[in-house]
Amino acid sequence: MYTYERMVYEALRRSPMHFTQLLQSLPIGERATRTALRRLLEKRYVYRKKEEVSIRDWKGRTMKKRLYVYHANSI
């Protein structure tokens, strides 16, 4: 497992999150995060599920959206 993959996996083990949360919680870029997630999904270390998530926009309004939430599988 590469360094970025390990970082993404460890973050998801702490708590499941959607892609934007993942980007904000890690010090790596969008492309590296996407690549790491794709590899982890292929290797079945991570799975994703559509869930209803509350999102706050820049004006502070809260709305519900159905997004993929990534979860770490136990190895």
What is the distance between the terminal CA atoms of the chain, rounded to a whole angstrom? 12
What is the rounded CA–CA span in Å between residue 64 and residue 56? 9
User: pLDDT band at residue 4, thresholds of 50, 70 and 90?
Assistant: very high
| Residue range of the domain that includes 9 | 3-72
Q: What is the CATH number of the domain that holds 29?
A: 1.10.10.10
One-letter amino acid identity for 64? K
Note whether 25 and 11 are within 8 A (CB). yes
What is the dihedral sign for C-alpha 69, 34, 55, 74? positive
DSSP tag of 43: T
Overall number of domains in the chain: 1
What mean pLDDT is predicted for residues 43-60?
A: 93
Query: For residue range 25-43, what is the model confidence (pLDDT) as tens digits?
Result: 999 999 999 999 999 999 9
H/E element, 62: strand 62-72
